[in-house]
Amino acid sequence: MAVGWHRPTKLVIDTQAIKDNVYSEVKRMPQGTELFAVVKANGYGHGAIQTAKAAIKGGATGFCVAILDEAIELREAGITEPILILSVVDVSYIDLLLKYDLSVTVATQEWLEQAIEQLNHIERQTPLKIHIKVDTGMGRIGFTTPSAVKQIVELVQSTKSLFWEGVFTHFATADEKDTNYFEKQAQRFKEVLAVLFELPKYVHVSNSATALWHPDNVGNMIRFGIAMYGLNPSGQALPEVYPLKPALSLVSQLIQVKELSTGEGIGYGNTYTTTKNEWVGTVPIGYADGWLRHLQGFSVLVNGKECEIIGRICMDQCMIRLPEKMTVGTKVTLIGHDHGANITMQMVADQLETIHYEVACTFSERMPREYK
């Protein structure tokens, strides 16, 4: 996709904030714990490579991604730290896992048997690094019983072409006040560990929420995602343990300003009609940028003042009601601080009836990311 470098709409990413968020966690982690920065989905929309580099400065010692291509992107950018792929990679790509020195998740016995078969055909290899995934109640991927895990460990340990690097699970409710289900999952994971005769280098259970609100339960590696970007994993349900610094802002400029008289329609479907003489500004951002149509009625900031988005949001532009005449080129802040006012990712998420994770991932490739 063409990136809109020649348009005033852009995401501004504060890499210092990312570094600070990582360091805030690193300095409170128990001794001997490592932090792997989760940079899947292009670093939750913030840019994977720049986020990864900032995370290293904050003390991250490895990375997690969701898919093989994201891992390769990091390697090609010169990242040499361990990289764990959290989801299932087709066994036909095992040569790439070895070539790029990547660690992969094992979630079923079939996969492992097929992988061993593939590895038998690859000569002079270093062993494939694997992390065994235990499904303790997320219901997504992984082994569900201690005996299944034990059997897999035995298979791995008797296979020279495999290296058992990790065992892990993932919590479904670590961001909630009610800890019952969390405790149940934690207990199940303990039962799995109890049947193993030895443990691998990494035993890990923590996403951001677990790290923040269940610090006794972190294993020896934290998979730190959303909090690194400065966003509270729980939305507003639980208070931040230390101040998280949001890394992302979204800005643009007015490209046209006009005064309309009473009774004029705005946008497709004519869903807004002026009720008096109104100053209307046009902002070059639309749903193709991830500024979705449900944001109609939400507000943006111009000179620190809230200006309502009026009429339907178009693919590439939207219109806002201005308090007074303003000049073309005036800065528009859609997310972030402006003259003491602030629009947060959470506010956008609330308007869209979703979570800020989804908002961050929805920003399209068309918007350039500027790093400071």
Ligand X SMILES: *Cc1c(COP(=O)(O)O)cnc(C)c1O
Active site residues: 40, 268
Whole-angstrom Cα distance, residue 265 to residue 297? 15
- The span of 49-57, 219-227, 249-257, 332-340 binding ligand X (CB under 6 A) equals 219-227
| Residue type present at position 301 | L
Closest approach of ligand X to the CB of residue 360, in Å: 10
Our CB check for ligand X shows the closer of 209 and 218 to be 209
Number of C-beta neighbours around residue 353 at 10 A = 7
| Residue 207 in the binding site for ligand X (CB under 6 A) | yes
| Residue 38 in the binding site for ligand X (CB under 6 A) | yes
Q: Is 140 annotated as a binding residue?
A: yes
| Residue 217 in the binding site for ligand X (CB under 6 A) | no
Number of C-beta neighbours around residue 236 at 10 A = 8
Closest approach of ligand X to the CB of residue 208, in Å: 3
120: exposed, middle or buried (Cβ count in 10 Å: 0-12, 13-18, 19+):
exposed
Q: Is 1 annotated as a binding residue?
A: no
- 161 close to 129: Cβ distance less than 8 angstroms: no
Number of C-beta neighbours around residue 332 at 10 A = 26
- The span of 201-209, 238-246, 317-325, 347-355 binding ligand X (CB under 6 A) equals 201-209
Our CB check for ligand X shows the closer of 40 and 312 to be 40
| Residue 86 in the binding site for ligand X (CB under 6 A) | yes
Instruction: Show the site string, 151-170: x = touches ligand X by CB under 6 A, - = not.
Output: -------------------x
Are β-strands 305-310 and 318-322 bridged in parallel, bridged antiparallel, or unpaired? antiparallel
Closest approach of ligand X to the CB of residue 181, in Å: 16
In the list 62, 166, 233, 246, the residue contacting ligand X (rule: CB under 6 A) is: 233
Q: Name the residue number minimizing CB distance to ligand X.
A: 225
Our CB check for ligand X shows the closer of 103 and 207 to be 207
DSSP state of 132: E
Tokens of 245: 């610094």
In the list 48, 119, 226, 247, the residue contacting ligand X (rule: CB under 6 A) is: 226
> What are the phi and psi torsion angles at 309 (to 5°)?
-80, 120
Our CB check for ligand X shows the closer of 70 and 278 to be 70
3 state SS for 289-353 = HCCCHHHCCCEEEECCEEEEEECCCCCCCEEEEECCCCCCCCEEEEEEEECCEEECHHHHHHHCC
- The span of 203-211, 285-293, 303-311, 348-356 binding ligand X (CB under 6 A) equals 203-211
Number of C-beta neighbours around residue 315 at 10 A = 12
In the list 53, 129, 223, 356, the residue contacting ligand X (rule: CB under 6 A) is: 223
Number of residues that bind ligand X (CB under 6 A): 12
- DSSP-derived secondary structure for 153-217: HHHHHT-TTEEEEEEEE--SSTTSS--HHHHHHHHHHHHHHHT-SS--SEEEEE-HHHHHH-GGG
Q: Which residues are annotated as a binding site?
A: 140, 315
Binding-site ranges for ligand X (CB under 6 A): 38, 40, 86, 170, 207-209, 223-226, 233
Q: Which residues are annotated as a binding site for substrate?
A: 140, 315
